[in-house]
Amino acid sequence: MPAYPGDDSTGITAALGTIDSASPVSEVTRRLLDLFTSGSIEPGTRLPPERRLAATLGVGRSAVREALASLEILGIVSVKPGSGTYLRGTASDLLPNTLSWGLLIGRQRTDELLELRAGLEIYVARLAAVRESPPDLTRLTEAIDDMRAAIGDLSAFADADRAFHDAVAVAAGNGLLIDQLHVVRNLLQVYAGRAVASEADARRAQEEHEAVHAAIVRRDGDAAASAMAAHMTTAALRLAAVDRPG
C-alpha cells in the first residue's frame, strides 16, 4: 500500500473529503481514525495543521481540535508542543486502541461517563459559587450573553456552552478537576456530537445555564449545585434523544 512520508500533509488532506454532518466532531474523529488505521499512513507522520484539516473537511477549527484531543486521549496520535501532531503507530499497533474506542462509545460506557461528568460538574459549580472572583464572573456573564445571542446558531451556541462550563471550572480553582472534566467532555463529544439539536433545546439549555449563573453570582453553593444537577439531568436526556431518536 502507498505510504505517505513523515510530513506529507497534502497526501493526508487528499484522502479526506468534506463533511456534511450535524455532529462534526464525531464525524471528523471517525474519518481520521479510518484513515489512520487503513495502513496507508506511516507511523510518525506529521498531520496537517488544524487550519488545513478544517478547510479540507469543511468544518470549524474547533471541531478538528476536539477530534484530535480525543484521538490523543485514546493513544492514536501524539501532540508535540511547538512541533505538531503525529500518528503514533502502524495499523496493527493501533488495533488495541480502536478496540478501546469501540468499547468506549458503547451505550453503557456513555451512561457511565455521563454520570461521572454530572458528579464533577455539580461539585465544580458548588466550588465556583464560593470561590469566584470578579474576573470569573466576567467570563461567566460573557458566556451567558454569547449563548443568548447564539440561540439561532447551534454551532455558536455549543461554543458558548463550552465556554460557560470552562469558566465555571476555572472559577472552582482546582486544576485537577479541570483536567478530569476536559478528558470526560472530550470522550463524550466523540460519541454524542451535539446534544443541543434544535432551537427549542438551546432555549431550554439557556435557561438552565442562567440558573447556574444566578446562583454563582449570589455565592450560593447549594443552589449552584442544585441548578447544575438539573442541567446535567436534562442534558443527559437530550443526549439520549440524539442517540436514540424516537
Give 5-48 pLDDT, tens digit per residue. 445 555 666 556 555 554 677 788 878 877 877 777 888 899 99
Shared domain for 216 and 110, answered yes or no, is yes
| Whole-Å CA distances, 113 to 67, 100, 134, 146, 175 | 17, 14, 32, 27, 20
Residue 90 domain flag: yes
Both 128 and 218 in one domain: the answer is yes
- Say if residue 97's pLDDT is above 60: no
The mean pLDDT value for 124-130 works out to 97
Q: In terms of domains, do 66 and 173 share one?
A: no
pLDDT, one tens digit per residue, over 50-70 is: 999 999 988 888 888 888 887
Which of 67, 100, 133 is where one domain is finished? 100
Q: What confidence score (pLDDT) does residue 237 get?
A: 83
Does the pLDDT at position 190 exceed 90? Answer: no
Closest C-alpha to 74, from 103, 43, 49:
103
The domain of 89 spans 9-100
Average pLDDT score, the chain: 81
The pair phi, psi for residue 48, each rounded to 5°, is -60, 160
Dihedral angle over CA of 231, 232, 235, 239, nearest 10: 180
pLDDT band at 246 (very low <50, low <70, confident <90, very high): very low
What is the spatial distance between Cα 173 and Cα 177, in angstroms, rounded to a whole number? 9
Q: Is 53 in the same domain as 165?
A: no
Q: Could you tell me if 223 and 161 lie in one domain?
A: yes
pLDDT in the model for residue 206: 95
Task: Judge whether 87 and 44 are in contact, CB under 8 Å.
Answer: yes
Domain count across the chain = 2
Higher pLDDT, 71 or 21: 71
The answer to whether residues 199 and 122 belong to one domain is yes
Residue where one domain finishes, among candidates 100, 132, 148: 100
C-beta of residue 26 within 8 angstroms of C-beta of residue 71: no
For the range 148-154, what are the long-range contacts, defined as Cβ-Cβ under 8 Å and sequence gap of 24 or more?
148/206, 150/202, 151/199, 151/202, 151/203, 151/206, 152/199, 154/194, 154/196, 154/197, 154/198, 154/199, 154/202
Choosing from 100, 132, 153, the residue where a domain stops is: 100
Q: Residue 79 falls within a domain, yes or no? A: yes
- Structure confidence at residue 95 (pLDDT): 53
pLDDT, residue 89, reads 72
177 in any annotated domain: yes
76, 169: one domain: no
pLDDT at 245: 43
Based on the fold, state whether residues 73 and 121 are members of the same structural domain: no
* Spatial separation of the C-alpha atoms in residues 199 and 181, rounded to whole Å: 26
Tens digit of each residue's pLDDT (9 = 90 or more) over 232-245: 999 888 776 655 54
Query: Measuring CA to CA, which residue among 6, 1, 3, 70 is closest to residue 32?
Result: 70
Share of residues in the chain with pLDDT > 70 (%)? 76
Residue 147, pLDDT > 70, answer: yes
Q: What is the pLDDT of residue 5?
A: 42
Side-chain-facing half-sphere of 90: CA atoms under 13 Å: 4
Question: What is the spatial distance between Cα 171 and Cα 177, in angstroms, rounded to a whole number?
Answer: 11
**Cα dist from 155 to 62, 84, 152, 196, 198, whole Å:** 10, 26, 9, 9, 11
Say if residue 186's pLDDT is above 80. no
